[in-house]
Amino acid sequence: MRNNINLNVQSLLNQYFHQRVIWVTGASSGIGLALVEALHAMGALVIVSARNEEALTHIQSRLGAARIHVVVLDLANSDSIKSGFEKAQAWHNRIDIVFNNGGISQRSDALQTDLKVVRQIMEVNFFANVQITQLVLPGMIERGFGHVVVTSSLMGKWGFYLRSAYGASKHALHGYYDSVRMEVEQKGIRITLLTPGFIATEISKHALVADGSLSGDMDANQSNGISAIECAAQILKGVANGSTELPVGGKELRGLWVKRFFPSLFERILRKQKAR
């Protein structure tokens, strides 16, 4: 019985992603890389984007050029995003699903953080998503199908020490996409906001500190989080099911429930957590 249920879930996933043209940003490492591998295994045609060309080419040489297309881009640069979209679109003349996944985190006190760093985080985590969404939506609407998946965070649901700009960028995604969803859902477009908790990637090492340099430190919460492969499996199941907002992770997701039903208790618990 259980095997039958698993087979049904797997076939639902395969049906949803098979032969779809899917654009994944932040594909060079972590969650994005795990999504690319899982989507490729389901028969999708995947456009992989990030700045690190070597990492993207390595994915292509491992999985094959027939269903992996490399588009190098910088999410902090709107010209680069525009030309990236043109290259992505030209591959099969359509984009069915986009995973707006690329992002950078922060580990710095709000008052010490250079305004340039705040703007950079907003540019990569918020404005780049908006630009990509504006570029892909017209074609999706014309074809009557499209799915925009956006990687927010639990930091898009509440604030935390050393994450002021990061939290702001992720909160902004919710306001934007909850509104856009209402405008486009009648046109065959789905929008899913992902709120991952602790995922075992190097995001904390890649996080920006107050002057814009990289933190370089691996945080315990990330080290102890669920694997990127498990995260991608949870994401793809929820996306295929059409979730509008999808928490992904382990026991830290209980915070969503505690915040909702016991907000004062949640505030007290949050303040007792270590900053990193």
Q: Which is nearer to ligand NAP, 196 or 255 (CB)?
A: 196
> What's the per-residue H, E or C state across 181-245?
HHHHHHHCEEEEEEEECCECCCCCCCCECCCCCECCCCCHHHHCCECHHHHHHHHHHHHHCCCCE
CB contact set of 258 (below 8 Å; sequence gap of 6+): 265, 266, 269
Least spacing, CB of residue 243 vs ligand NAP, in Å: 16
Span near ligand NAP by CB under 6 A; candidates 3-11, 91-99, 174-182, 191-199: 191-199
Site membership for ligand NAP, residue 35 (CB under 6 A): no
**Interacting positions 47-66 with ligand NAP (CB under 6 A):** 50-52, 55
Least spacing, CB of residue 170 vs ligand NAP, in Å: 7
Closest residue by beta carbon to ligand NAP: 30
176 is catalytic: no
Report the 10 Å Cβ neighbour count for 64: 9
d(CA 211, CA 129): 24
Site membership for ligand NAP, residue 238 (CB under 6 A): no
Q: How many residues bind ligand NAP (CB under 6 A)?
A: 32
Site membership for ligand NAP, residue 199 (CB under 6 A): yes
CB contact set of 4 (below 8 Å; sequence gap of 6+): none
Task: Check if the beta carbon of residue 18 is closer than 8 Å to that of residue 10.
Answer: no
Least spacing, CB of residue 62 vs ligand NAP, in Å: 16
Site membership for ligand NAP, residue 172 (CB under 6 A): no
Q: Which is nearer to ligand NAP, 145 or 158 (CB)?
A: 158
Site membership for ligand NAP, residue 196 (CB under 6 A): yes
| Helix (H/G/I), strand (E/B), else coil: 130 | helix
Residue from 106, 164, 201, 215 binding ligand NAP (CB under 6 A)? 201
Task: Check if the beta carbon of residue 68 is closer than 8 Å to that of residue 48.
Answer: yes
**Interacting positions 104-123 with ligand NAP (CB under 6 A):** 104-105
The two three-digit tokens of residue 87, written as one number: 């290259």
d(CA 131, CA 78): 8
Catalytic residues: 166
Applying CB under 6 A, the residues found at the interface with ligand NAP are 26-32, 50-52, 55, 73-76, 101-105, 124, 151, 153, 196, 198-199, 201-203, 206, 222, 225
